């Protein structure tokens, strides 16, 4: 029974990938913080959003969650934490741990006092989620090419988790303004009396990518948040048209500051082309003009 339970553990950690991966879970029977590599189990796992799903080699069902890192909403840090259960008949086994690079390490507990350490090596956290090397092209509507607008070209910072989710105050003379807006996605333009809405940015990928949770930033430079509402769309090749997957409201923020927020699509999508379109801006500006600013796009599991 213990082996089946531990197999489930293995399942969980690999669940971070979009497809399936065969992994080996190493575990021992003594909870002392030292991995003795006494036993190992082979299994396949998959991930749906942040939900770990799968079965062990003996058919036990695995279910659990992996946290996104650097999210102050849940108090997570630089290392992802995970937890999952393995349902083996009428019993359950619990697994807890954190990710360190390509290693998943933690402890497991059985229903009758069993316990021990476990470890597995996998790169599933890096699989499936769009990254810089997956980007084929980045382009925008013509409004972002006007005089006075700002637009970053494709650079290695694209789709990296730059700046976390903290507020970056531009008037912080004590800590300084450390946010480097020259890296990653950055697009700013002025909407003429809001008649230019929607204002869109586009990304083409080399192949269809899995997307569920993403982070996007804007700013309040004392005139209101420069992104009030926006939509996330994917290109439907069969229909030859854009398909809106989700509509979002960007939360208020104090200013003058830049900040990113985390958003979750209502369903996991696969596409090689996406569009993020600003539908409105809370920036009042001068004479009713509205500034639109989007920056720091990155994807989570």
Q: List the single range of 24-33, 171-180, 197-206 with lowest mean pLDDT.
A: 171-180
Alpha carbons 208 and 172: distance in angstroms, whole number: 41
Confidence of residue 282 (pLDDT cuts 50, 70, 90): very high
Give pLDDT tens digits for 225-259: 999 999 999 999 888 999 999 999 999 999 899 99
Q: What is the pLDDT of residue 31?
A: 92
Q: Encoding tokens for residue 105?
A: 């390490």
Tell me whether residue 260 is exposed, middle or buried, using C-beta atoms within 10 angstroms of its C-beta: 0 to 12, 13 to 18, 19 or more.
Answer: buried
* Helix, strand, coil percent values for the chain (each to nearest 5): 10, 50, 40
Give pLDDT tens digits for 22-72: 777 788 899 998 878 788 777 777 766 677 777 888 888 888 888 877 776
Statement: residue 170 has pLDDT above 80:
yes
pTM, two decimal places: 0.67
Is-cis flag, bond preceding 198, omega within 30? yes
Give the mean pLDDT of 262-288.
89
């Amino acid at each position: 029974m213990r082996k089946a339970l531990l197999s489930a553990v293995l399942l969980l950690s690999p669940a971070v990938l979009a497809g399936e991966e065969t992994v080996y879970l190493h575990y021992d029977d003594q909870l002392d913080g030292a991995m003795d590599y006494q036993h190992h189990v082979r299994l396949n796992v998959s991930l749906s959003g942040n939900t770990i799903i799968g079965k062990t080699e003996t058919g036990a069902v695995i279910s659990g969650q992996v946290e996104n890192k650097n999210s102050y909403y849940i108090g997570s840090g630089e290392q992802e934490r995970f937890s999952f259960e393995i349902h083996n008949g009428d019993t359950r086994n619990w697994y807890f741990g954190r990710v360190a690079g390509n290693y998943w390490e933690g402890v497991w507990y059985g229903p009758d006092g069993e316990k021990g350490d476990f470890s597995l090596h996998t790169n599933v956290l890096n699989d499936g989620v769009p990254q810089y090397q997956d980007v084929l092209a980045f382009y925008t509507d013509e409004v972002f090419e006007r005089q006075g607008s700002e637009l970053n070209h494709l650079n290695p910072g694209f789709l990296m988790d730059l700046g976390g989710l903290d507020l970056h105050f531009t008037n912080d003379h004590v800590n300084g303004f450390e946010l480097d807006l020259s890296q990653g996605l950055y697009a700013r333009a002025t909407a003429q009396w809001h008649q230019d809405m929607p204002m869109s940015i586009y990304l083409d990928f080399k192949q269809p990518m899995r997307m569920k949770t993403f982070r996007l930033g804007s700013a309040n430079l004392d005139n209101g948040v420069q992104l009030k509402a926006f939509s996330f769309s994917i290109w439907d090749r069969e229909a030859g048209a854009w398909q809106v997957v989700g509509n979002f409201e960007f939360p208020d923020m104090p200013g003058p500051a830049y900040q990113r927020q985390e958003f979750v699509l209502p369903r996991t999508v696969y596409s090689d082309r996406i569009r993020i379109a600003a539908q409105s801006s809370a920036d009042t500006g001068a004479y009713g003009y509205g500034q639109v600013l989007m920056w720091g796009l990155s994807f989570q599991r």
